């Protein structure tokens, strides 16, 4: 069973016979800004979606780990500010535990040099789900499969940022150009957005320098990094 089999329970609790509200523009502009709306200023807000794509070996995971560390500690990254620390879930499908551990140590050392004193990483701030996690039965989590989808959604609950590294490694489909094969992703992003969780998607570039596969995955993205 695929996760993109639509789950009616996601909309069953909506008010019946409801209609969209209308907002008059002048009054709307006078409204107070949403507190805590910016996660990474100015590129990612609470509940927003961002994609980072590049060819293999260009350092996508390094960049994503730096971003995850900055969000978890409330520091800065690549000149972008993080107003306050947040809780992060990093789904790693590319690195082994040893490699990931050494990369984290290097990032922590670099943060101490760049921003002394070193921002404090709280015990409840940065989480990883790894390729050899026994909960996945020694398999890579495949987020387009309903059991893995539901388990991942549970792990992502109450997080401010979820990093998926990468789409190719953490899905079972080999048909990247078939649009409906990615309905599960739209459903997952919708669930996370409803919880106020921002998402950073890592993906590979094609030979033309664009993100590989169907362009429908770009729907709803606020920022594209290459």
Whether residue 2 lies inside any domain: the answer is no
Does residue 65 or residue 167 have the better pLDDT? 65
Residues 104-128 have a mean pLDDT of: 73
pLDDT the model gives residue 219: 64
CATH number for the domain that contains residue 57: 3.40.50.300
Does residue 174 or residue 57 have the better pLDDT? 57
Whether residue 28 lies inside any domain: the answer is no
pLDDT the model gives residue 166: 81
Q: Is 155 exposed, middle or buried (0-12, 13-18, 19+ CB in 10 A)?
A: middle
Does residue 109 or residue 11 have the better pLDDT? 109
Whether residue 10 lies inside any domain: the answer is no
Residues 1-16 have a mean pLDDT of: 50
Distance CA 149, CA 75 (A): 31
Residues 36-60 have a mean pLDDT of: 90
Residues 209-221 have a mean pLDDT of: 61
Whether residue 105 lies inside any domain: the answer is yes
Domain count, the chain: 1
Whether residue 22 lies inside any domain: the answer is no
pLDDT-derived band of residue 6, with 50, 70 and 90 as boundaries?
very low
Distance CA 27, CA 212 (A): 42
Per DSSP, the residues of 21-74 read: ----HHHHHTSPPPTT-EEEBTTEETT-EEEEEE-TTS-HHHHHHHHHHHHHHT
Q: Which residues pair with 46 in a beta bridge?
A: none
Mind listing the pLDDT tens digit for each residue in 171-180?
Answer: 776 655 545 5
Whether residue 207 lies inside any domain: the answer is yes
Whether residue 32 lies inside any domain: the answer is no
Whether residue 9 lies inside any domain: the answer is no
Range of the domain at 41: 37-225
Stated pTM of the model: 0.77
């Amino acid at each position: 069973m695929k996760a993109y089999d639509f789950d009616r329970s996601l909309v069953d609790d909506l008010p019946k016979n409801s209609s969209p509200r209308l907002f008059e523009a002048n009054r709307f502009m006078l409204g107070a800004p949403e507190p805590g709306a910016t996660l990474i200023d100015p590129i990612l807000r609470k509940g927003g979606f961002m994609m980072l794509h590049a060819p293999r070996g260009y350092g996508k995971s390094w960049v994503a780990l730096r971003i995850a560390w900055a969000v978890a500690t409330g520091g800065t990254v690549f000149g972008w500010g993080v107003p306050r620390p947040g809780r992060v879930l990093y789904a790693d499908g590319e690195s082994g535990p040893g490699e990931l551990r050494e990369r984290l140590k290097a990032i922590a050392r670099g943060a101490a040099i760049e921003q002394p004193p070193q921002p404090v990483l709280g015990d409840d701030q940065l989480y990883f789900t790894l390729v050899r996690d026994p909960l996945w039965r020694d398999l890579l989590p495949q987020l387009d499969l309903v059991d893995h989808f539901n388990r991942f959604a549970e792990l992502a609950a109450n997080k401010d940022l979820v990093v998926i590294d990468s789409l190719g490694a953490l899905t079972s489909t080999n048909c990247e150009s078939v649009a409906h094969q990615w309905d599960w992703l739209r459903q997952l992003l919708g669930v996370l957005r409803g919880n106020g969780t921002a998402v950073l998607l890592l993906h590979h570039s094609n030979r033309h320098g664009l993100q590989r596969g169907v362009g429908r995955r770009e729907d709803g993205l606020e920022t594209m990094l290459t």
